[in-house]
Structure 1
Amino acid sequence: MAHFTLTVDSNPDRRLQFIAQAGKQLSCLDGLDLKQAENHELAIIWAKAPLAPSSFHVDEKAFGLLLGYSVDDAGQWLDSRALQSIWTGETPRDKRLGGYFAALTYSPAHGLILGGDLLGFFPLYYAEADGALLASSSPELIAAHPAFKAELDFRGLTGIFLTNGLVNGHALVRGIKRLKHGHHLVWNRRQGAVEKEIFQFVATDSLPSCSPEEARELADTELLRAIRWHRPPHSASTLMLSGGLDSRLMAGYLSAEGITRDAVCLGRRTDFEVQVGGRVAAALAMNVHRETHELEPDGFARDAHQLARFEHLSGGFGFLEANASARVVAQSAPMFWSGFALEDVLGGDAMGFGLDPKTRVWSFEHLLSRLNEWAVPVRLLPSLLRTGDAREVIREQIAALEQQYAQGPETEARRCMRLKLFTRARFHVGQTVHRLAFGSWPLLPILDRRLLEKQFSIPTAVMMNRQLQRNMLTHRFPELARIPREHNSFRFEPLRQTRFADLATALETRIRKRYWRWRGEEPRRYFRCFDLNSPLWKAVRADAEKNLARLDPWLDRKALAALPWPAPEKLRNNPFTAGATQRLIFGLALWAARK
């Protein structure tokens, strides 16, 4: 995690007050280094892990800050001065930089430019108040400015309840916008704050007849190049390894390139993903750090309060264990690799998100229903929201999503891919990545312009259902392809299916499930972390229920009380979506209780 907040304000007293209040809030984040700077009307404070990559410069004419790492279109890692030269220089250069980062440049003559990674994973928010510009990685820190009055925005709340993320940039607090993906925020005294597009996620090449082999070679070339470009030049790195298809593929490339021989597996030794991850590591002779420490309810609840305060439910209220995971990964290396979002960029999952399995038709309506599974059922929203125009606000937010879906001449499948990346992947994966940056900085080769554009060009038929990923793994790393795949279930699935293998897998699955039920243990780590009936979530629920009355100005109490608690069988089979509504309500209650 790294946070910053800034103001460009002509009032020096307000600048001092803002930095003092923001610094007080940031000081509660343990283990982060705080720095602050001023330049003319700019006042800024930021906090980051001690070994997180960053650079800044300040002189009489300008200020620049880079949090994270940024890679130019020739594969060179940049510092804050080099980035400022690209963003503000007279010579046209590609501003579509790779890497996971947030950056800004400021000068009295030209104003401020703020931007981040291509998919908008790093959270960037902004607002204007009484002639002052406010920008931050957290809406909560924007509210530290004395001229800003924090009030709930029903549009923001509706978007969160509808999709488990933000819609049309509306945050939970009125007047705060999240910077759109692929855009820079450009501000000066004359024009105010303007979002300027610098990257469009579109296909650069048309490959209508691309064969599976050609697609594999193309994806292999671009992923390998991106990994080489994102390799830290002076820092050690590790791999978060679960044994799933995404991190397994990354393990193969990292090992083959000699980039790292270290991996971290999170969970008990008996957890399925630790077992499979260990087999992958053994096949590559990687050193594995197994973290078996189980989360404690009190610590889990403290993290829940902190995340509700700083994130404002921008990506829902799941994966709270990421804070604890960050502390573990930080013990291994200052930077880490993972398989985050590979399933969307390479695996075709983003396309499949909008495909109705019964009709085999892609549509916005089906994609919206899938997003809503992770939130509050849309049919309950009109009675739940305490605003006279609830139905109109709901229609407005759905229309904004549909307009985003319909942009561009692409096929329905590619529209689904793009919208899934810019909703669920951006807010869910992006939020998790930001939490993990609290300890060790994420290395994300998917945040690479050429890789994204090439992948968007590959035909649907050769990407869907992880075909491309499977093809890459089987061809490149056959020893890894032979290890059965675990994906949060009792089913360990071989990558190459045969009738005999299917029958054997089905039998093993039944035996495995009965064995662990007999033992009374849950060997799937993410199931434990999401189960509302677990000690972890009972602690969060207890704190949230003390503050439900604080929701009365925004939510109808009778409708809130009538929200159905998920049946035990549903929670046991799928705690992820089954408990989604309750998690959002708990998060909102903790947000309302923040001091």
Structure 2
Amino acid sequence: MHRNALTSRFIVFLPAVHAANTSPVNSPSTDASMASTRRMQGKVERYCASHNLTSLQTKHYYLACDLTRDPTQTLEPADRAHPILVCDLLPGKISASREFAFEEAAANWNAWHAHAEADAQVYNLIYAEKESFALESDPLGIKPVYRAETEGGTLVASSIADICSISPELSQHLDRNSIAQFLLMGYALGPRSFHKGLHRTETGERIGWSRAAGLELSRPRRYSVSEEIKTGIHLNAALLQVERAINASLERHSSGARKPINIALSGGFDSRILAAAMKSQNYPIRAFTYGRWHHRELRTARRIAKSIGIEHRLLDYPLDNYYQRLPLFMSAVEGQSESKVTQITNLLQIEADKGSALVHGFLSDPIAGSHLTDWFPNDDLESLDEVADRLVRALAPPHSRLQLVQKILDFKFDWDSFKGEVRSELCPAERPYQSAVLWDIENRQRKLISPHLLMLGQKFDVIAPFYDREMLQTWISMPRVALDKRYLQRQHLAYKFPELAKIPRDEETSPITPNLKNQLLLLMDTLARKAFIKLYGSVKGYRPESIWSLGQGMANASQIQKMNDSIRDGGKLLTEVFDLQLNLSDETLALIQSSPENGDYQTTRLIFQLVEYAKWIKALPVSK
């Protein structure tokens, strides 16, 4: 019988398996290797002890977890003689009122995952036996796990900070390809981190280890397309399947949550569909929107809430939110993606206890086909090579931006190599467009949008109904025409919630179902917004004090100079902390300011983020 534990932080050291069958047991090389292993394990043990982590396995490998977040759980030494199942969760889930009782008497990964996918959604499962170890992530591996080869074995941890504190040399060497991808797209592909020797687990990955075989990596939990495309399905049947999938997912992921359930209502399709579906099923819900009066999404959300008949509250939108929430971003996301996602942390203003439920529309856009038409205007793809080629062309920044990044890094970006990375991550499917949807989910959404869940999950029991295996299979089995321009999602809204279909989406100019009243309201909103935007930067209380919160071309010459001075000084820190020398000459800075994205200061802000990351790494404690 195994014992259970919940954690949000763990560290594992898996010794290298010394092959006695290939060299004499007492040979100098074997002795030296074993000494290295003992030295590193001792270092890991001392670090974990100094950070109050509880040791769960110490003999053949080392595993320690933070069990302090759940004061009700204790593991006595006698318990540790049995196999231990550890569920690695976000802190908000541990504080929720859910029951994580994995009651199977023997190892049963399918049953464990079914339970964890329903209640946790974002998790890692660890099964620790006396002479073997296994870790499996949720399908997208949203809660990060990092792996690094070190002296005498492999370090695996839930945090870059812990690995770099134990082995500081790993933090010093940055991967220029990863940094280039970050500056060009806001994230790095697949298992890449900013560091050469540090790898993030891939989607659905399993890390296995045993005394006999050593380290083994595989991807048994990766999403795959298991159903044939429903080419002849009637629209009404498709709408019914989508409705059933949404209702089943809400039931599966919300049944154990605290009530009332909070929902982030943005004014888009996903949040209005979820809010209306939950209202129709009599869930007690409260809707929240952050913003200022001139933000169109706020006014759209207000009309949606009134139409549904639910409580709706407005949250403040501090203009310096980006800079204020950067420490949270560094601790929760560890700097590994574009930091503009920090605006979602405005939802942390919701007055609710830790562990309260918050519904988020993560993955609604890609599974409904929001990018398909832009990336693949015609359904003429015949191979995964063509998919990779189209994806690379769609993701490629303007040529001037590419030249700028190459100049900053003094590094020629290899697009053929990048295309090869994209191609290697494409999962086979019945039709190539399905592979493109899965690639978007496993890369762009995982790296750019899922940080929402990591930050909000520090406080909330985050529920993401669209992040559901059955939901994904339902959508991706639909014919291509159903996904073009979100056709099926739009029809579902018009069919199931016709009044909501009359309200324009906040980014669009017309509703799904034309309505004169809403069109006139939209016109009035647009005119008022355009008039105000001209004065926006000069109105007291509407101009951010932090230069890094400026956008839309608001920075004046003095503020632009401050940005340049800041990143020039920061470049020195990047050289000090990492082996990274940036070309931040006056000529390069002038090119940055004249680039097409000058008004949003994107490149400047990303360099600033790298500097803040260097400060964060430099401040980490170093293990003795």
Smaller-chain TM-score bracket: 0.7 to 0.9
1:407-556 aligned at under 5 Å gives the runs 407-487=427-507, 492-497=509-514, 508=524, 511-517=527-533, 519-520=535-536, 531=551, 544-552=567-575, 553-556=579-582
How many angstroms apart in 2 are the aligned matches of 1:210 and 1:17? Answer: 61
How many angstroms apart in 2 are the aligned matches of 1:571 and 1:420? Answer: 27
Shift of 1:369: 4.0
Shift of 1:372: 4.0
Counterpart of 2:134, as a letter, is: I
8 Å contact kept, 2:204–2:220: yes
Counterpart of 1:178, as a letter, is: R
How many angstroms apart in 2 are the aligned matches of 1:194 and 1:360? Answer: 32
Equivalent pairs counted in the alignment come to: 556
- Is 1:15 the counterpart of 2:41? The answer is no
Q: In the alignment, which of 230, 238, 248 is matched to residue 225 of structure 1?
A: 248
Deviates more, 1:220-229 or 1:358-367: 358-367
Normalising by structure 2, report the TM-score.
0.76
8 Å contact kept, 1:63–1:107: yes
1:31 maps to: none
SS at match of 1:8: strand
1:73 maps to: none
How many angstroms apart in 2 are the aligned matches of 1:401 and 1:269? Answer: 41
8 Å contact kept, 1:204–1:453: yes
- Supply the RMSD in Å over aligned alpha carbons: 4.2
Shift of 1:334: 1.2
1:29 maps to: none
How many angstroms apart in 2 are the aligned matches of 1:532 and 1:49? Answer: 42
How many angstroms apart in 1 are the aligned matches of 2:188 and 2:159? Answer: 14
- Is 1:100 the counterpart of 2:121? The answer is yes
2:32 maps to: none
What CA deviation, in whole Å up to 9, does each residue of 1:8-40 have, x standing for no partner? Answer: 36746313332256x4xxxxxxxxxx8644333
Shift of 1:147: 7.8
CA gap of 1:530–1:233, structure 2 versus 1, over 3 A, is farther
Shift of 1:187: 2.4
SS at match of 1:201: coil
Q: In the alignment, which of 335, 338, 344 is matched to residue 360 of structure 2?
A: 338
What CA deviation, in whole Å up to 9, does each residue of 1:108-136 have, x standing for no partner? Answer: 43522223322232222222322343223
8 Å contact kept, 1:182–1:197: yes
SS at match of 1:290: strand
SS at match of 1:181: coil
8 Å contact kept, 1:55–1:67: no
CA gap of 1:43–1:252, structure 2 versus 1, over 3 A, is same
How many angstroms apart in 1 are the aligned matches of 2:399 and 2:42? Answer: 42
Shift of 1:212: 2.6
CA gap of 1:327–1:398, structure 2 versus 1, over 3 A, is farther
Structure 2 residue runs of 5 or longer lacking an equivalent are 1-6, 15-36, 91-97, 620-624
Shift of 1:342: 0.6
1:66-105 aligned at under 5 Å gives the runs 66-68=87-89, 79=100, 81-82=102-103, 85=106, 87=108, 97-98=117-118, 99-105=120-126
- Is 1:142 the counterpart of 2:163? The answer is yes
CA gap of 1:437–1:88, structure 2 versus 1, over 3 A, is closer
Counterpart of 2:100, as a letter, is: D
SS at match of 1:207: coil
Deviates more, 1:247-256 or 1:124-133: 124-133
What percentage of aligned pairs have identical amino acids? 15
CA gap of 1:354–1:511, structure 2 versus 1, over 3 A, is same
CA gap of 1:274–1:36, structure 2 versus 1, over 3 A, is farther
What CA deviation, in whole Å up to 9, does each residue of 1:87-109 have, x standing for no partner? Answer: 459x9997994552222324343
8 Å contact kept, 1:268–1:292: yes
SS at match of 1:463: helix
1:74 maps to: none
How many angstroms apart in 2 are the aligned matches of 1:412 and 1:446? Answer: 22
What CA deviation, in whole Å up to 9, does each residue of 1:203-224 have, x standing for no partner? Answer: 4122112233222111111121
8 Å contact kept, 1:238–1:332: no
Counterpart of 1:588, as a letter, is: L
CA gap of 1:353–1:216, structure 2 versus 1, over 3 A, is same
Deviates more, 1:516-525 or 1:549-558: 516-525
Normalising by structure 1, report the TM-score.
0.80
- Is 1:272 the counterpart of 2:296? The answer is yes
CA gap of 1:571–1:439, structure 2 versus 1, over 3 A, is farther
2:4 maps to: none
8 Å contact kept, 1:123–1:178: yes
8 Å contact kept, 2:138–2:221: no
2:9 maps to: 4
How many angstroms apart in 2 are the aligned matches of 1:81 and 1:377? Answer: 50
- Is 1:251 the counterpart of 2:275? The answer is yes
- Is 1:158 the counterpart of 2:180? The answer is yes
SS at match of 1:200: coil
Shift of 1:78: 6.7
8 Å contact kept, 1:49–1:439: no
Deviates more, 1:475-484 or 1:248-257: 475-484
8 Å contact kept, 1:168–1:397: no
CA gap of 1:351–1:282, structure 2 versus 1, over 3 A, is same
How many angstroms apart in 2 are the aligned matches of 1:129 and 1:582? Answer: 34
Counterpart of 2:391, as a letter, is: L
Shift of 1:375: 12
SS at match of 1:133: strand
Shift of 1:229: 0.5
| Bigger CA radius of gyration | 2
- Is 1:557 the counterpart of 2:583? The answer is yes
How many angstroms apart in 2 are the aligned matches of 1:133 and 1:144? Answer: 15
Deviates more, 1:131-140 or 1:501-510: 501-510
CA gap of 1:434–1:301, structure 2 versus 1, over 3 A, is same
1:582 maps to: 604
CA gap of 1:140–1:492, structure 2 versus 1, over 3 A, is same
Shift of 1:154: 2.5
2:230 maps to: 207
How many angstroms apart in 2 are the aligned matches of 1:80 and 1:112? Answer: 20
CA gap of 1:588–1:280, structure 2 versus 1, over 3 A, is same
CA gap of 1:296–1:95, structure 2 versus 1, over 3 A, is closer
What CA deviation, in whole Å up to 9, does each residue of 1:445-501 have, x standing for no partner? Answer: 2222222112111011012112111111111112222223212xxx55322248x89
8 Å contact kept, 2:381–2:433: no
How many angstroms apart in 2 are the aligned matches of 1:106 and 1:334? Answer: 28
8 Å contact kept, 1:184–1:195: yes
How many angstroms apart in 2 are the aligned matches of 1:474 and 1:355? Answer: 26
CA gap of 1:291–1:84, structure 2 versus 1, over 3 A, is farther
Shift of 1:82: 4.0
1:34-433 aligned at under 5 Å gives the runs 36-40=54-58, 41-46=61-66, 59-68=80-89, 79=100, 81-82=102-103, 85=106, 87=108, 97-98=117-118, 99-146=120-167, 149-150=170-171, 151-189=173-211, 190-236=213-259, 237-296=261-320, 300-301=322-323, 303-305=325-327, 307-308=329-330, 311-328=333-350, 330=352, 334-345=356-367, 347-355=368-376, 363-373=387-397, 377-386=401-410, 390-391=412-413, 395-405=416-426, 407-433=427-453
CA gap of 1:441–1:545, structure 2 versus 1, over 3 A, is farther
Structure 1 residue runs of 5 or longer lacking an equivalent are 24-33, 70-76
Counterpart of 2:551, as a letter, is: D
